[in-house]
């Protein structure tokens, strides 16, 4: 497991990091996580998320732009458990989750805006591996995500050895 702090990354690599606005709560059982980003743009439909967590995560981070919706939960306990068992490092979600107690007991980093009990509809909509813009930054597929209890930073290159 990698050990770092986002304040130290900001101090050590000020020209290489972009900081997401402080909008996110920590919900996962892992409070420190990092890895290359796999991006998803999906609004109130987690069909693409469901497909992605079934694939090998290889320590990567799923970055989901759910449009900031506070009306549906884009991640629940079953998808979080599947992501953890398939080796995903964590998720950064511009949207809500549900089953927060169960997700807190899952070995996975999860940052999200809030919780909501209603699940999404499965309409098969969403875009994978596209640039996503939220929390004041644009995140491109393959960029590095570093998250801890202090916040989330993005870098176009790997800053520390995993």
The yes-or-no verdict on residue 72 having pLDDT over 80 is yes
CA-to-CA distance for 11 and 5, rounded, in angstroms? 10
Instruction: Return the CATH superfamily for domain 30-155.
Output: Ribonuclease E inhibitor RraA/RraA-like (3.50.30.40)
Q: Any idea where the domains of the chain sit in the sequence?
A: 30-155
* Confidence bin at 133 (pLDDT 50/70/90): very high
Say what the pLDDT of residue 100 is.
Answer: 97
pLDDT, tens only, 39-50: 999 999 999 999
Q: Any long-range contacts for 6-11 (C-beta under 8 Å, 24+ apart)? A: 6/146, 6/147, 6/148, 6/150, 6/151, 6/152, 6/153, 7/150, 9/146, 9/153, 9/155, 9/159, 9/160, 10/153
**Mean pLDDT, residues 3-23 taken together:** 97
pLDDT, tens only, 104-126: 999 999 999 999 999 998 887 89
């Amino acid at each position: 497991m990698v050990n770092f702090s986002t304040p130290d990354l900001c101090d050590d690599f000020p020209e290489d990091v972009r900081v997401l606005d402080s909008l996110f709560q920590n919900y996962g059982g892992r409070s420190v996580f990092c890895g290359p980003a796999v991006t998803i743009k999906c609004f109130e439909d987690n069909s693409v998320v469901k497909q992605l967590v079934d694939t090998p995560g290889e320590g990567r981070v799923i970055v989901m732009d759910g449009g900031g919706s506070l009306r549906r939960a884009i991640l629940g306990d079953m998808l979080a458990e599947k992501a953890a068992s398939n080796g995903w490092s964590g998720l950064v979600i511009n949207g809500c989750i549900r089953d927060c107690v169960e997700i807190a007991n899952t070995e996975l980093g999860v940052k999200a805006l809030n919780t909501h009990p209603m699940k999404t509809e499965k309409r098969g909509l969403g875009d994978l591996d596209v640039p996503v813009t939220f929390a004041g930054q644009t995140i491109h597929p393959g960029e590095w995500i570093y998250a801890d209890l202090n916040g989330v930073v993005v870098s176009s290159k790997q800053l520390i050895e995993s």
